[in-house]
C-alpha cells in the first residue's frame, strides 16, 4: 500500500517547525455533535503487554498503551508534518546540532516538573547495555553522538550527545545530518520517563501503584490477562482538549472472542477483524469496518546462525517456493499485498524494486528452489525438516498452515508448527531458541531504514543473527545520502542483498483492520498503526 506520509527532506528538517498549519492531534468534536454523558472507551489490544516500561518493549501491543500515557518531544501529524508536544519549539545548526525547548510548566502526572535532565537521563538509560532495550540501537540509528558505541559497551553513557543546557533546554548533537531525524524522534521508545520513580521502585515502577507519566492518561489498574485501565491525567499539558475520561485495554488474542464481545457491546474498537468473517462484516456493517493502509511487513525470520539456515540456498529456496499471492489474496483477502521486499514497495518517497524471481511463474520458482535445496543436501530421501514458531493468534495459525502445506507440496519439506504466547515467543526469539519464527515489523517512521536497520550487523533488533558487510555499507551510505534519490539507490542495494541472502522471508504487506462502533468519534489509524485515545470522543447514542 502506498504511504500516506512523505519523508521529510533536509530542506524541511532544517527549518524551525512551529505548531501552526495542519490540524493537531487532539479531540476535534465537530459542531452540532452531541457528546455522551459517559466518556469511556474500551479497546481490545490483542495481547497482554510484556511491560509498560518504554525501554523494555518492542511491539504495538505495548506501544499502543505507552503512546496514550506518555508524551514525546514531538509527534507526526496526519499530513506527515511535525507537531510540537513536550517541546514547544526547536532550532538547529547545519542539521547536526539540535536545540529543543520544553513547554513552560509541563509536569509529570504527580505534579513534579518535567525537565531537560529527565530527557537526558531517559535516553542514557535507553542506550545503556545494562537496560537490554530492544530499541537500544535507535539513538545510534539517528546518529546521535556516541550512541552506537554506548549501546555496544564501548563508551560510558555520560558521553551520549544529549545534554541539558538548562531545565527547559535540550541539545542533541548528531555525527551527521539524518533525513528522518524528527520523525524518528516521535518514536515511543524516546519518551522521557521519571527518574525518581524508576530509581525508587526498580522494575515495579511501571505498575499502577507507582506509575508516573506525562501523557493524556495515567494507568490506574492492571489485572494481568484481564485488563489495563487508564484515566484522564488532569496534569497533562493539553488536558483541556481531551474528551474521553477513561480507557480500558483488553488483552483478547482470540479474534472470534474479540468480535463476539464487540457485537455484545462490550468493546468499542476491536484489535482486528477475523479473516473468515471479514467479507460478511464488510457487506453487513460497512460503516463499522475500518481498513487503513499500514507500513508493515509480515515475515518468517530464519535463525541464520543455526544449520541448515546458515546456508542462504536453503533460505532462498523456501522464499521462492511460497505462493504469496494465495496467502495475501485467498487466506487473508482484506487488501494485503504479496511481499518480496522486507521494507515496502513505496516508502518515504522511494520506490523499491522486488527481485527478478518475484515475477517468475510459481512453477519456475519451485523448479529453481528444488535445485537450491538439492545443492544444499536435501532431497526426497533426506527432506528438510524444521520447526515454525508463531505467537498464538488464529490468523497466524491459518498462515502457518498454508505456508507449511505449500512447502510440503512444492519441496517435500516437513514443517512442525509451534505456537506460544506473545511474551514467551519474544523471549525465545531474542535468545535464538528457534529455527524459523513468525514476526512482523511496523514502521517506526516513514523511511525504509526502519525495516532495513533490523538486519545490520550488531543491531539490537537483529535477532536473525544475519551479517553481511556489503549490506552494512549500503545502509551506512544511505544514512549519509544528501537527497531522496541517492538514499533510494542505496536502499535498493540493501534490498537486493536481502533478496539473495534471505535472512527472513517477507510474506505480505499489511493493512490494518478494526471494527469501530458508530458512536466512537475521531478514530484515525495512521500509517504506523497507532490510534490515540486523546483524539477520540463518544457520541450520544
User: Which residues, other chains included, contact 118 with Cβ-Cβ below 8 Å and sequence gap of 6+?
Assistant: 192, 193, 194, 195
Stated as kind and residue range, the H or E segment containing 201 is: helix 195-201
| Calpha distance 175→428 (Å, rounded) | 35
Note whether 242 and 380 are within 8 A (CB). no
DSSP 281-298: HHHH-GGGEEEEEEEEEE
Judge: domain 33-70+195-269+516-540, CATH 1.10.600.10.
no
Question: Rounded to an integer, what distance in angstroms lies between the CA atom of residue 381 and that of residue 176?
Answer: 55
Q: In Å, how far from its chain's centre is CA 63?
A: 8
CATH 3.40.50.1820 assigned to domain 71-192? The reply is no
Whole-model pTM: value is 0.83
CB distance 299 to 437 below 8 Å: no
- The secondary element (H helix, E strand) that includes residue 410 is helix 394-411
Separation of alpha carbons 9 and 354, rounded Å = 25
pLDDT in tens, 307-360: 999 999 999 999 999 999 999 999 999 999 999 999 999 998 899 999 999 999
Backbone torsions φ then ψ of 490, nearest 5 degrees: -75, -35
> 83 - beta bridge partners?
75
Q: So what's the pLDDT on residue 484?
A: 86
Cβ proximity of 264 and 252 under 8 Å? no
Please tell me the distance from the alpha carbon of residue 27 to that of residue 395, in angstroms, as a whole number: 33
What does the domain layout of the chain look like in residue ranges?
A: 33-70+195-269+516-540, 71-192, 295-511
Cβ-contact 228, 66 below 8 angstroms: no
Pairs from 150-157 (Cβ < 8 Å, separation ≥ 24): 150/124, 151/127, 151/460, 152/458, 153/129, 157/124, 157/125, 157/127, 157/128
Q: What is the pLDDT of residue 80?
A: 81
Continuous segment of H or E residues that includes residue 302:
strand 289-302
Q: Do the domains 295-511 and 71-192 match in fold? A: no
Find all residues with CB under 8 Å of 351, minimum gap 6, and list them.
345, 488
Reading the chain (541 residues) residue by residue, the pLDDT tens digits are 222 223 333 233 333 333 333 345 689 999 999 999 999 999 999 999 999 999 999 999 999 999 999 999 999 988 888 999 999 999 999 999 999 999 999 999 999 999 999 999 999 999 999 999 999 999 999 999 999 999 999 999 999 999 999 999 999 999 998 888 999 999 999 999 999 999 999 999 999 999 999 999 999 999 999 999 999 999 999 999 999 999 999 999 999 999 999 999 999 999 999 999 999 999 999 999 999 989 999 999 999 999 999 999 999 999 999 999 999 999 999 999 999 999 999 998 899 999 999 999 999 999 999 999 999 999 999 999 999 999 998 999 999 999 999 999 999 999 999 999 999 999 999 999 999 999 999 999 999 999 999 999 999 999 999 999 999 999 999 988 878 899 999 999 999 999 999 999 999 999 999 999 999 999 999 999 999 999 999 999 9
Check whether domain 295-511 has CATH 3.10.105.10, yes or no: yes
Q: What is the 3-class SS of 33-89, one letter each residue?
A: CCECCCCEEEEECCCCCCCCCCCCCCCHHHHHHHHHHCCCCEEECCCCCEEECCEEE
Angle between helices 469-480 and 484-501 (to 10 degrees): 160
3-state secondary structure of 420: strand
Looking at residue 7, the DSSP 8-state letter turns out to be P
Amino acid at each position: 500500500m502506498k504511504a500516506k506520509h512523505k519523508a521529510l527532506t533536509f530542506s524541511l528538517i532544517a527549518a524551525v517547525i512551529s505548531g501552526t498549519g495542519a490540524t493537531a492531534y487532539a479531540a476535534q468534536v465537530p459542531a452540532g455533535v452531541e457528546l455522551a454523558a459517559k466518556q469511556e472507551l474500551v479497546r481490545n489490544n490483542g495481547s497482554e503487554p510484556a511491560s509498560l516500561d518504554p525501554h523494555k518493549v518492542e511491539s504495538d501491543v505495548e506501544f499502543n498503551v505507552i503512546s496514550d500515557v506518555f508524551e514525546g518531544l514531538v509527534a507526526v501529524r496526519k499530513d506527515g508534518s511535525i507537531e510540537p508536544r513536550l517541546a514547544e519549539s526547536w532550532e538547529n545548526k547545519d542539521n547536526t546540532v539540535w536545540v529543543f525547548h520544553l513547554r513552560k510548566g509541563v509536569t509529570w502526572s504527580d505534579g513534579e516538573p518535567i525537565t531537560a535532565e529527565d530527557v537526558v537521563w531517559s535516553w542514557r538509560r535507553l542506550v545503556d547495555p545494562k537496560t537490554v532495550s530492544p530499541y537500544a540501537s535507535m539513538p545510534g540509528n539517528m546518529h546521535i553522538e556516541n550512541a552506537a558505541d554506548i549501546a555496544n559497551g564501548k563508551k560510558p553513557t555520560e558521553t551520549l550527545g544529549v545534554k541539558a543546557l538548562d531545565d527547559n533546554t535540550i541539545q542533541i548533537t548528531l555525527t551527521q545530518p539524518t533525513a528522518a531525524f524528527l520523525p524518528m524522534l516521535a518514536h515511543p521508545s524516546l519518551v522521557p520517563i521519571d527518574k525518581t520513580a524508576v530509581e525508587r521502585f526498580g522494575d515495579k515502577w511501571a505498575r499502577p501503584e507507582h506509575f508516573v507519566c506525562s501523557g493524556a492518561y495515567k494507568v490506574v489498574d492492571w489485572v494481568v490477562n484481564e485488563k489495563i485501565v487508564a484515566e484522564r491525567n488532569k496534569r497533562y499539558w493539553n488536558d483541556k482538549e481531551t474528551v474521553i475520561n477513561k480507557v480500558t485495554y483488553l488483552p483478547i488474542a482470540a479474534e472470534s472472542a474479540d468480535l463476539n464481545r464487540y457485537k455484545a457491546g462490550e468493546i468499542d474498537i476491536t484489535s482486528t477483524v477475523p479473516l473468515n468473517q471479514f467479507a460478511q462484516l464488510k457487506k453487513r456493517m460497512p460503516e463499522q469496518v475500518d481498513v487503513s493502509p499500514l507500513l508493515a511487513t509480515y515475515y518468517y525470520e530464519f535463525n541464520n546462525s543455526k544449520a541448515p539456515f546458515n546456508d542462504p540456498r536453503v533460505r532462498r529456496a523456501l522464499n521462492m517456493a511460497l505462493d504469496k499471492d494465495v496467502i495475501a489474496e485467498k487466506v487473508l483477502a482484506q487488501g494485503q499485498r504479496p511481499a518480496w521486499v522486507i521494507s515496502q514497495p513505496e516508502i518515504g518517497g522511494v520506490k523499491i524494486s522486488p527481485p527478478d524471481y518475484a515475477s517468475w511463474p510459481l512453477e519456475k520458482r519451485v523448479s529453481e528452489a528444488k535445485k537450491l535445496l538439492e545443492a544444499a543436501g536435501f532431497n526426497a530421501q533426506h527432506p528438510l525438516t524444521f520447526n515454525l514458531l508463531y505467537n498464538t493468534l488464529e490468523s497466524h495459525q491459518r498462515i502457518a498452515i498454508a505456508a507449511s502445506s505449500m512447502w510440503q507440496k512444492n519441496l517435500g519439506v516437513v514443517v512442525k508448527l509451534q505456537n506460544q504466547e506473545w511474551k514467551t515467543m519474544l523471549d525465545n526469539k531474542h535468545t535464538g531458541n528457534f529455527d524459523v519464527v513468525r514476526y512482523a515489523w511496523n514502521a517506526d517512521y516513514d523511511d525504509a531504514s526502519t525495516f532495513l536497520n533490523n538486519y545490520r550487523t550488531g543491531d539490537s533488533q537483529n535477532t536473525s543473527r544475519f551479517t553481511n558487510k556489503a549490506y552494512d555499507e549500503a545502509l551506512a551510505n544511505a544514512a549519509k545520502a544528501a537527497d531522496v534519490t541517492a538514499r533510494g539507490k542505496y536502499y535498493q542495494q540493501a534490498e537486493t542483498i536481502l533478496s539473495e541472502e534471505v535472512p527472513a522471508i517477507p510474506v505480505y504487506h499489511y493493512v490494518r483492520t478494526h471494527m469501530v462502533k458508530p458512536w466512537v468519534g475521531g478514530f484515525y489509524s495512521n500509517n504506523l498503526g497507532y490510534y490515540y485515545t486523546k483524539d477520540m470522543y463518544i457520541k450520544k447514542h
